[in-house]
Amino acid sequence: MIRIAVLVSGRGSNLQAIIDSIENKYLHAQISVVISDIGDAYALERARKHGINAVHIDPGKFASKASYEAEVLKTLNSHNVQLVLLAGYMKILGKTLLTAYKDRILNIHPALLPAFPGLHAQEQAFKHGVKVAGCTVHFVDEELDGGPIILQKCVEVKEDDTAQTLADRILEQEHKIYPEAIKLFAENKLRIEGRKVKIIK
Ligand code: GAR
């Protein structure tokens, strides 16, 4: 069973979707640890409610990104983590984690990448006037929201949408495609070939 760590910063609804997918046996995986850079992130509470080890590592207590990430890495190693999932984790990853977990870090982003990387992607898309929005699960590399794409899901923009109603419908899809992508990884069905991710049937 693959050992997973989930890195979070906020409410943790994607974390919840992953927990639910494990509990209902869709995903054959174990969340070994949840790590938050924010002490009062609701995601930590969600993890603890399910008996999952949840820790706050405060970046403010470290002199540099490298030393903060070294502490995160120590925690990952102590749990023999095989796959790292970013789920609403709002820090940009540095070399320490990217090197140690090369091709073993996934992220969910609330836009159809490469459109609208960065913060508030749903609002960026809505304000831009797109007719189709969506979400993306991708491997994480040194480029912000730029790694090879695993799965995407489209969400149609309705005439009466607000940025919030659109974001809510995108989130529903996030909760579906993240567990799907994790399952593919766990079953060793993903092959990175340059920019492309081949999915083995
Ligand atoms: C999600 O919409 C996720 O896609 C987004 O933050 C939200 C976290 O919600 N991530 C990013 O924007 C990363 N660039 P959650 O804490 O309820 O899962």
CA of 77 to the centre of ligand 1 (A): 25
Pick out the chain residues at pLDDT < 50.
none
pLDDT digits (tens, 9 = 90+) for 77-89: 999 999 999 999 9
Percent of the chain with pLDDT over 70: 100
Q: Are residues 81 and 9 located together in one domain of the fold?
A: yes
Backbone dihedral angles phi then psi of residue 135, each to the nearest 5 degrees: -145, 160
Q: Are residues 11 and 79 located together in one domain of the fold?
A: yes
pLDDT at 165: 98
Q: Are residues 122 and 162 located together in one domain of the fold?
A: yes
Q: What is the mean pLDDT of the chain?
A: 98
Nearest atom in ligand 1 to the alpha carbon of residue 87 is: 18
Number of domains in the chain: 2
Rounded distance, CA 162 to CA 32, Å?
A: 38
CA of 88 to the centre of ligand 1 (A): 4
Does the annotation mark 28 as catalytic?
no
pLDDT at 68: 98
pLDDT digits (tens, 9 = 90+) for 48-77: 999 999 999 999 999 999 999 999 999 999
The domain of 172 spans 108-201
The catalytically annotated residue of 50, 56, 109, 128 is 109
Nearest atom in ligand 1 to the alpha carbon of residue 121 is: 12
Domain at 152, CATH number: 3.40.50.170
